[in-house]
Structure 1
Amino acid sequence: MNKFQLFLFLSFLITFSAKGQEDKSNSPFSESRYNYFLKTVLLFNEYLDTDNGSFNTTQLRFLHPIGNGAWNFRFDLPLISANSNSVNKTGIGDVGAGVSYIPYLEKSNGIAFRLRINSNSAVDPSFGTGKWVAIPAVIYGRYFMQKQFLWLSSLEYQGSFAGSRNRSDVNTTAYENVLLYFFGKNWLAGDVAFRYNNTLDGFQNNAFLEFGRKITPNNLVYIHPSVAFGGEKSYNYGLEVGVLILF
């Protein structure tokens, strides 16, 4: 059994052995920035500077709760522009979809599981991996200091299971921690993500800061600069700007 199969097996066992609670209000997974219980439309634009040029991704993400809200469906549609000495074009990237499940939830902490599939659908080889990729993850959320701070920690594996034989396999493990601080209608967040690319045998880490604000009770905006580090980093620095609509 490889690491990917083992991770899925353990996730299956933990998911069906955990006991969830129905109290979803004011829980770690109900915060507006990462809300699992409301329909959400997220539109963001991310610019990445690389050694060989730049990539710009405009992405539409839709999230929809299922049933009693313990399940959540997600759909991602990326539009990518590449600008380098060899490529200057725009097109659809790898379209993805996924489901999340929350087996355990209290007002101060909770656990969620997520499985995403990215399809081999990019219109140009430079816009995608050339592979079908399964991405299982486990996420832990916890409030601190009378809910002024929210900590979200996740462990994720990205593994390809089909696609072009001429493209490298996707085999990456990521451990990420986000700390959010809420004040008034605003929030500040910091994140450090450690990613080990087993195919390249090197780290592709990154860190970001984020400032966001509620402009109405159901509409939010944020700005999100980031920097990459590690021996096999995939970009140098980036800037993401997004709008969320909750309904």
Structure 2
Amino acid sequence: MRKIYLLCILIFLGITSAKAQGTEVEEKIPFTEPRFRYYLQTLLFYNEYLDTKNGSFNTTQARALIPIGSKAWNLRFDLPLVSANTNETNKTGLGDVGMGISYIPFMKNSQGIALRARVYANSAVDPAFGSGKWVIMPAFFYGRYFNEKKFLWISSFEYQQSFAGSSQRNDISIGVLESVLFHFFGKNWIAGDVALRYNSTINGYQNNAYVEYGRKITPTNLIYIHPSVAFGGDKTYNYGIEAGFLILF
């Protein structure tokens, strides 16, 4: 797994050193549809409820996406508020805040690739609200349209590695291979997603899948809802539901 992590870092550094190709703002290119907006300033507010064997967790999160430079670059900021309702904890507080940067080095002929690096801080006000670690997450994305832009497929690989934080908490070393397929019709979209997640710290799988329905309610406002289910021998929750509201400007 560490070899995969190093390969991912090398891919990230190698591609970002090249010039972006074909990253002009166009309507018929990947990553411009709802939930994958790189070229517009975006505010996302969502609430996610997760049922676990020890109780439930509810996360209310605000996310800002800000294009910069040639708009092939994009900044991201996450601010989560977590509520834990377990046998030991029933409280609400700030979770691990995060920031990231994305880059699109190639975009042409209805397909493209993107790169992202995120860092989550050990900022949770309670151990139940976060990982207790600083975590870096490099990721690689490939996207492609099919059938006259009615379908968009995006596949990604992300590696999550802790590098600092509480010595009392487990290290984080997780590889995530994810694939999502969107179908667009009118002002609506539906999607299906499967994420295969291997946690090398515990040598177990923590996979999940979801289906999603979304709709553009105004030219700049979108809503979505998606139920999810976890599977694998070491899953972190049983089922969940997320609903979100996007503002584009």
Q: Give the TM-score normalised by the residue count of structure 2.
A: 0.96
Structure 2 equivalent of residue 244 of structure 1: 246
Which segments of 5 or more consecutive residues in structure 2 lack a partner in the other structure?
A: none
SS in 2 for 1:11: helix
Q: Compared with structure 1, are the counterparts of its residues 208 and 2 closer, same or farther at alpha carbon in structure 2 (3 Å cutoff)?
A: closer
Work out whether residues 24 and 106 of structure 1, in 8 Å CA contact, stay in contact via their aligned partners in 2. no
Cα drift, residue 16 of structure 1: 2.3
* Matches for 1:78-89 after TM superposition, within 5 Å: 78-89=80-91
Q: Compared with structure 1, are the counterparts of its residues 48 and 24 closer, same or farther at alpha carbon in structure 2 (3 Å cutoff)?
A: same
Q: Distance in 2 between matches of 1:73 and 1:89?
A: 31
User: Match for 2:223 among 204, 221, 224?
Assistant: 221
Q: Distance in 2 between matches of 1:235 and 1:43?
A: 22
Q: Distance in 2 between matches of 1:246 and 1:236?
A: 33
User: Match for 1:195 among 181, 194, 197?
Assistant: 197
1:149-180 CA distance string (max 9 Å, x none) = 00010000000001111110000000000000
Q: Distance in 2 between matches of 1:181 and 1:152?
A: 12
State yes or no: 1:20 paired with 2:17. no
Q: Compared with structure 1, are the counterparts of its residues 133 and 166 closer, same or farther at alpha carbon in structure 2 (3 Å cutoff)?
A: same
Q: Distance in 2 between matches of 1:170 and 1:206?
A: 18
* Matches for 1:36-185 after TM superposition, within 5 Å: 36-185=38-187
1:159-211 CA distance string (max 9 Å, x none) = 00011111100000000000000000000000000000001100000000000
Which segments of 5 or more consecutive residues in structure 1 lack a partner in the other structure?
A: none
Q: Distance in 2 between matches of 1:30 and 1:174?
A: 23
Q: Distance in 2 between matches of 1:56 and 1:63?
A: 22
Work out whether residues 28 and 107 of structure 1, in 8 Å CA contact, stay in contact via their aligned partners in 2. no
The number of equivalent residue pairs is 247
- Provide the alpha-carbon RMSD of the alignment: 1.3
SS in 2 for 1:173: strand
SS in 1 for 2:143: strand
Cα drift, residue 2 of structure 1: 4.0
Q: Distance in 2 between matches of 1:23 and 1:106?
A: 10
Work out whether residues 23 and 104 of structure 2, in 8 Å CA contact, stay in contact via their aligned partners in 1. no
Q: Give the TM-score normalised by the residue count of structure 1.
A: 0.97
Q: Distance in 1 between matches of 2:141 and 2:118?
A: 13
Q: Distance in 2 between matches of 1:37 and 1:228?
A: 32
Work out whether residues 53 and 83 of structure 1, in 8 Å CA contact, stay in contact via their aligned partners in 2. yes
